[in-house]
Structure 1
Amino acid sequence: MEIKSDTTQGGWSSFLMNRSDILVASSVIMILLVMIMPIPAVLLDFFLAMNISLSIIVLLVAFYTLKPLQFAVFPGMLLILTLFRLSLNVASTRLILSEGYAGNLIEAFGSFVVQGNFVIGIIIFAVLIIINFVVITKGASRIAEVSARFTLDAMPGKQMAIDADLSAGLISDDEAKARREEIARESDFYGAMDGASKFVRGDVIAGLLITFINIIGGLIVGSVQQGMPIGDAAAQYTLLTVGDGLVSQIPALLISTGSGIIVTRAASEGSLSFEITTQLFGNPKVISLAAVFILIMGLIPGMPFIPFMIFAGGLFYHANKKSRRDELEIIEEQEKIDQDGQPEEKVEQYLLMDTLELEIGYSLIPLVDPDQGGDLLDRMSSLRKQMAIELGMLVPPIRIRDNVQLKSNHYTIKMRGILQGEGELLPEYHLVLLPENLQADIKGVKTKDPAYGMDAVWVSNSNRAEAEKYGLSIIKAGAVITTHMIEVIKRNADKLLDRQMVKTLVDNLKESAPAVVEELVPNKMSYGELQKILKRLLKEGIPIRDMNTILETVADYHSKTQNPDVLTEYVRAALAETITRTYRDGENSVTTAVLESSLEGHLISQAQQGNLHPGTLGFTPETVEKLYMSATRVCDKMSATGHKPIILTSPVLRPALYDFLVSVIPDVVVLSYNDLTIDTQIHKFGAIELSQEHESQHEPALT
């Protein structure tokens, strides 16, 4: 009883919507039957009214559609509506020629619309054909054809733009997939519209031919078969034929207009009515000037003054109201300005802080403005992509803003409001890096490279050739800022890695390796614990791009220890190939310094007893100072000979030794034997040691 009640109480609409596939398929079959089988005049009136109603709906939907893809079904529906209209032409032709009557709707169009005069009807019908075929359909077809061609040509560029945004971390994989699908649908839509527009043109031609055939056929049937005078036959059958043509052409005109609106919506962003009112009537000065010219035209002798006066008065009224409305908006905006002359803002906005910020002086603004040839924004996007490849982390968006308090050529780099680097640029010059032992007289402004502190000189374009003949590095001003920013990011990579970024990296890995992610995070390890391991790796310059290996290793050893330092050493051993490739030379060898054997043995015993403190390594202040001096002397010698200051030690000592030395030697690298692959050749550069005299004096403190 309940099911029957739902069906009878308005469930028919829901039933039809749920069975839309059956409804559409049945409608197509019905259209074909109308062409073949004779139908009564009453049913033809119903179908003709349906045709006009559907055409009006299509026109209004096209009018309120914001984007063409919101009405993507239009090309396929256009074919069905065209077939439906042609089937009604066949049915009406059959009734007109067989019975001399084709229903009230056609008769009304033949008698009321053209006032019973078939000559007027033929002229009106011809005018509608010209409007539809020559103006609307031809223009819509051309727009659809050009749009289809341009859309196909632009597809590779759009795909590359999506890939670039995805690589730079600006969009997620789901957003990239959705944008690719939208591009494919857009291409398919315009391609389909290019073909569907041919249906509209064919429908117009078919309507013209059908009308011509009906007129000739009506004359033959009336005068030959029924013996009517030629004038009466022409009046009766031609009038009905013209009425039939008008009934068909009006819906065709509506559909053609809807088609034209759809294909011309590519550059619009809002509804058509809103854009017309805002763009056409949005400027009060333009409307007032137009009203003046309209009023002048009305004053010309012989012109009807009243219509022009009405239009001019209406435009003056609209311009006045629009001008007052704009003034009120300006006043409201000014009322929102506080006493300091700054717009009121929410206090909560001052609690937010940009992670990375680049402030520039006013002379450096052209580097950011693309209209002035600036490419700094593109360089920053490339920087984020480069950091994702080198470090395996997503660099937060970099806020670039001008600061009038800075010197005109000055810039600063801040991280969470703290100054991390600064420098000065000459925008129209190039920076040339000068090696230490170079004997060359290059004209320019001497300076220091802000990223590395090397001697450099700013050269103009005219002196650039002089620097090129020495084979020196020549850097554009925008590239200087980018290089400096890269060094700041590398130096502070561990500080940029927050829990949210760790979650993003884990979620990204989950798509390709869900097993290890589901096993480890967050069941066994929290994001904060994993963050400590990743921060430790980044702090020592180890990229975290191979997240699969990192999580696999942590999952293997997490049951044995939860100490992040110990887990980090296991991860470093798993990443040995990456670490070795970073520090080895062309001969597959690594040049390192080592700890003197007795010193290393003492430290290992201290570590086993739990007395190895990273700050002092368990030594007295005098011994710590002695060890600092010895390590600094060895590392300076390595740097002077072109080697990176690398110290090789036991895995047990490595974390504590790095924490001990990094405060004195910021660029020191401390490796363990597990960090290098077994086929790597190790060249010993020197040893860090304490004198026997010094060791004997402090032996009690060591034990």
Structure 2
Amino acid sequence: MLAKFLPGARGAVLPLAILLLVVIMVVPIPAALLDIFFVTNIAISLAVLMVALNARKPLDFSAFPTVLLFTTLFRLGLNVASTRIVLVHGHEGEAAAGHVIEAFGNFLIGGDYVVGIFVFAILMIINLIVVTKGAGRVSEVSARFTLDALPGKQMAIDADLNAGLLTPDEAKARRVEVTTEADFYGSMDGSSKFVKGDAVAAMLILAANVIGGLILGPVSHGLTIAEAARAYILLAIGDALVAQLPALMLSIAAAAIVTRVSSDKDLAGQIGSQFGSPRTWTPVAGILTLLGVMPGMPHLLLLSGAAVAGFAAWKLHQIERRPPPPAPVAAVEPADQSRIGYEDVSDGMLVRLDIGYGLVPLVDERKGAPLMGRITGVRRQLSKELGFVVPQVRVVDDINLAPYTYRLVVGGVVVGEDQVSPDEMLALDTGQAVGSLRGKTAKDPTFGLDATWIAPGDADAATGAGFLVVDPGTVVATHLNHALGQNAADLLGPDEVQALLDGLKERNPQVVASLTPQPLALTTLTQILRGLLAEGISLREFRRIASAISIAAQKSPHAEDIVELIRPDLGSLIVQKLCGVREPLRVMTLEGQLEGLLGQAARADTSGRHVIEPDLGRRIVDAITRAAQPLIAEAKPFALVVQPAIRIAIRKLVKTCLPDTPVLSFFEVPEDKAVEVVAVIGASQPAQAGHFQPQALPA
């Protein structure tokens, strides 16, 4: 309480309390001050019990093991102080040890120390055998199961984080909660020994007071054995009962905490809600009525109890039949028309899917919301592929769109738009279809394949004819997946990069320390990673990427230069997406003279814009497109391999016609990787048999 009202003294409260406890044990204190401490001890025990009963879950009182330790030490210190007063002044009368001990000795046990001994023994049995032993067993089992479940809970948090169901801050908070829970139950398992030891100490202290009084009375004060027993044993019993009452309350608090099940209600509310059913009290009333009419039974008591149980059942039944109260309508304050907030300017979402009103059934929860489940699957899969958590997708119905039109927006930019029919299926011609279908012809929005919208009843026939049939939700989800993959760089911001660094720091702290904030700022690191994503390089192997960046940053501080410097170190990661381990890498190259010409132009370009002369660029693009058409038709991945000096310029050029084609430098191809040259762009003569077939650059 002192720490609450005097924030500056908060750190000194606990040391002062420990010092006071030592003083109580060592220095004799007057009986009046001892009474104050006894009342304080009872008040603290009651407060602890109330906090334990009102906690909604065990972790709401996570400080309980430490509180239990200090309250036990405080009570034992009072026992030492009271023992000193009882043995020194016990011959002076019943009030010699203070009014609290006198009251417990006279009022509670009627001044008969024999009765007091039996009352104390019963309290000890209840506390030590029933409450403390049971609570200790529950604590032991809870600690064991909590520690066994700890790895599984941490893996579940990591899985939810990777799936995008949790933000990094939420995942960190859940990890802290799981760790705190394990520490709490482990501490409770040990703190139960405090209560047991306190009970044993209470018996030993009582025995010491009784034996000491029986010796000191006759020897030091000339009392008879009967007078010494009357004086000292009565005070000793009162002292033991004063200490045992708070100990029993703390034992009950400990038992309530360890047996508590997490709920949104306190203990009284949880018990009340579970007993508040007429189906519970109706059988009770019936059984008590049967017992009440039997001969020889206390009819009045049993029938009265049956009447109370029957009334409770009837009242609860009436409560169940009542209609739920209407939700309170909050008073709506008149809007300030002059105020413009951030929510009026932007919805704050990076990725948005706008749909026409005709596509609302695809996201209607009453109809299963098939599209929402597929969007979650897209985010989960993309997060695994890209190496960071893809932001959530907000679905908005836009009255400005045509009924069956949808639009994909990333960072405020429209990256895709098309139409789907919510009541039909899309049959795709993948090149193996036979015949034609009745329906509305269309183009697949993702890959541009010929397609037809057909009735759901014709889906089996279309599948048998070789068409690939998909539902409209899959069409939109596939388009979304492709669009987000192509614009992955726009999905990565400083917050996502910081989350990657935080995750890496837990496993490889030295790598992060060598990377940021020196020599690279977070913004520069974000530019580098976005540059990698823009060229289809995943961040899944972030430790390897971060290590390469930290080395390259010693050579250049510029993001674009660092990207080019680390690409050779990531060559194996790039190539493995294009071919299998035992397959050769299919590549297209530029003719030597053409490559030399472009290299000279790149070295002469002091602006660093990597611009190729328009007419030459058009002819290169045409030649690459013609050479790539057979490979694209056969779905064979390939790469364009050029000199490092012109890689950026060729990448910018190829991106306009073949955005998914990777452009590599010679240094990025692993030395042990077999290479199959499928085309040479710019060669004027075809290759001899057994060699590659070059493609001539048109005049």
* Aligned amino acid, residue 665 of structure 1: L
Which of 96, 100, 106 is equivalent to 1:111?
106
Deviations 1:631-654 (A, max 9, x none): 221111121233224322222332
Contact 1:520-1:551 at 8 Å conserved across structures: no
- In 1, distance between residues paired with 2:503 and 2:260? 37
CA deviations 1:198-248 (Å, max 9, x no partner) are 55356557757987998999999999x9668x8x99876775455344323
Q: Provide the C-alpha distance between the structure 2 equivalents of 1:15 and 1:565, rounded to a whole number of angstroms.
A: 52
Contact kept in structure 1, 2:89 and 2:97, CA below 8 Å: no
Query: Counterpart of 1:160 in structure 2: which amino acid?
Result: M
- Secondary structure of 2:653 counterpart: helix
Letter in 1 for 2:556: H
Q: Which of 519, 522, 538 lines up with 2:533 in the alignment?
A: 538
Output aligned runs, 1:367-378, within 5 Å: none
Q: Give, in angstroms, the shift of residue 92 of structure 1.
A: 7.5
Query: 5+ residue gaps in structure 2?
Result: 1-5, 279-299, 309-318, 320-324, 686-695
TM-superposed CA distance for 1:475, in Å, is 9.8
Q: Does structure 1 residue 636 correspond to structure 2 residue 654?
A: no
Report if the CA contact (8 A) 2:106-2:112 is conserved.
yes
Is the Cα–Cα contact under 8 Å of residues 355 and 416 in structure 1 kept in the other structure? yes
Task: Give runs of aligned pairs for residues 240-255 of structure 1, distance below 5 A.
Answer: 240=235, 242-255=237-250
Do 2:553 and 2:562's aligned partners in 1 also have CA atoms closer than 8 Å?
Answer: no
On the 8 A contact 2:617/2:653 being kept in 1, the answer is no
- Tell me which residue corresponds to 2:643: 650
Alignment equivalent of 2:251, drawn from 249, 253, 256: 256
Per the alignment, do residues 607 and 134 of structure 1 end up closer, same or farther by CA in structure 2, a change over 3 Å counting?
closer
Match status 1:589 vs 2:584: yes
Distance 1:248 1:346 in 2: 62
Instruction: Render the CA deviation track for 1:140-182: whole Å, top value 9, x for unaligned.
Output: 4565345434423432222223434565688899987776565
2:19 counterpart (23, 26, 35):
23
Deviations 1:582-611 (A, max 9, x none): 334444532122334454444344434439
Is the CA contact 1:614–1:657 (under 8 Å) kept in the aligned structure 2? Answer: no
Distance 1:474 1:126 in 2: 81
**Matched letter for residue 657 of structure 1:** I
8 Å contact from structure 2 (residues 552, 562) kept in 1:
yes
Query: Is the counterpart of residue 547 in structure 1 residue 545 in structure 2?
Result: yes
SS at match of 2:574: helix
- Alpha-carbon distance in 1 for matches of 2:186, 2:504: 38
**Residue 675 (structure 2) pairs with residue 682 (structure 1):** yes
Structure 2 vs 1, CA of residues 57 and 512 (structure 1 numbering), >3 Å: closer, same or farther? same
Q: Superposition pairs for residues 291-330 of structure 1, below 5 Å?
A: 330=328
Residue 60 (str. 1) matches residue 47 (str. 2): yes
1:520-562 Cα shifts (integer Å, max 9, x gaps) = 324xxx835x555443332221335333344245434428xx5
Q: Return the alpha-carbon distance in structure 1 between the equivalents of residues 242 and 386 of structure 2.
A: 65
Among 487, 492, 495, the residue aligned to 1:492: 487
Q: Deviations over 1:415-436 (max 9, x none)?
A: 2344445789999999999853
1-side partners of 2:367 and 2:42: how far apart? 51
**Number of residue pairs matched?**
613
Is residue 509–residue 517 contact of structure 1 (8 Å, CA) maintained in 2?
no
Give, as a single letter, the amino acid of the residue that structure 2 aligns with 1:23: L
- CA drift of 1:437 comes to 2.5
- Judging changes above 3 Å, is the alpha-carbon distance between structure 1 residues 279 and 570 closer, same or farther for their aligned structure 2 residues? same
Q: Matches of 2:230 and 2:501 in 1, distance apart? A: 82
Residue 520 of structure 1 corresponds to which residue in structure 2? 519
Counterpart selection for 2:155 from 160, 168, 171:
160
Q: 1:601 to 1:234 in 2, by over 3 A?
A: closer
Contact map agreement 1:132 1:253 (CA 8 A) in 2: yes
Give the superposition deviation at 1:411: 7.4
Distance 2:185 2:503 in 1: 35
Q: Distance in 1 between matches of 2:510 and 2:154?
A: 22
Contact residue 162 and residue 389 of structure 2 kept, 8 A: no
| Mapping of residues 372-451 of structure 1, within 5 Å | 379=377, 382-383=380-381, 385-389=383-387, 394-401=388-395, 403=397, 413-421=408-416, 436-437=431-432
Partner of 2:510, secondary structure, is coil
Whole-Å separation in 2 of the counterparts to 1:648 and 1:627? 14
Measured after TM superposition, the shift of residue 60 of structure 1 is 1.9
CA contact (8 A) 1:595 1:688 kept: yes
Letter in 2 for 1:521: L
Structure-2 residue corresponding to 1:200: 195
> 1:697 & 1:452 partners in 2: Cα distance?
28
CA 1:186–1:432 in structure 2 vs 1: closer, same or farther (change >3 Å)? farther
Q: How does 1:264-303 map onto structure 2 within 5 Å?
A: 267=262
Distance of 2:203 and 2:560 partners within structure 1: 86
User: Is the Cα–Cα contact under 8 Å of residues 389 and 496 in structure 2 kept in the other structure?
Assistant: no
User: Would the alpha carbon gap of residues 161 and 348 (structure 1) be closer, same or farther in structure 2, given more than 3 Å must change?
Assistant: same
Task: Using the TM superposition, give the Cα deviation of residue 54 of structure 1 relative to its aligned residue in structure 2, in angstroms.
Answer: 2.8
In 1, distance between residues paired with 2:257 and 2:665?
67
Gap change, CA 1:103 and 1:19, over 3 Å in 2: closer
Q: How does 1:39-118 map to 2 (within 5 A)?
A: 43=30, 46-47=33-34, 49-61=36-48, 63-64=50-51, 67-77=60-70, 79-81=72-74, 83-84=76-77, 87=80, 101=94, 103-105=97-99, 106-113=101-108, 116=111
Q: CA shift at 1:491, angstroms?
A: 0.5
Deviation of 1:492 after TM superposition, in Å, equals 0.3
2: CA distance between counterparts of 1:347 and 1:243?
69
- The one-letter code of the counterpart of 1:595 is L
Q: Which amino acid aligns with 1:495?
A: D
SS of equivalent to 1:652:
helix
How far apart in 1 are the matches of 2:168 and 2:34?
Answer: 49
CA contact under 8 A between 1:612 and 1:656: conserved in structure 2?
Answer: no
1:294 matched residue in structure 2: none
Tell me which residue corresponds to 2:666: 673
Conserved? CA contact 1:380–1:398, under 8 Å: no
TM-score, scaled relative to structure 1? 0.65
Match of 2:288 in 1: none
String of CA shifts for 1:17-46, please: whole Å, max 9, x gaps. Answer: 58559738946xx75x79xxxx8xx75664
CA 1:138/1:617 → structure 2, altered by over 3 Å: closer, same or farther? same
Distance of aligned partners of 1:96 and 1:491 in 2 relative to their CA distance in 1, 3 Å threshold:
same
Give the TM-score, by structure 2 length.
0.65
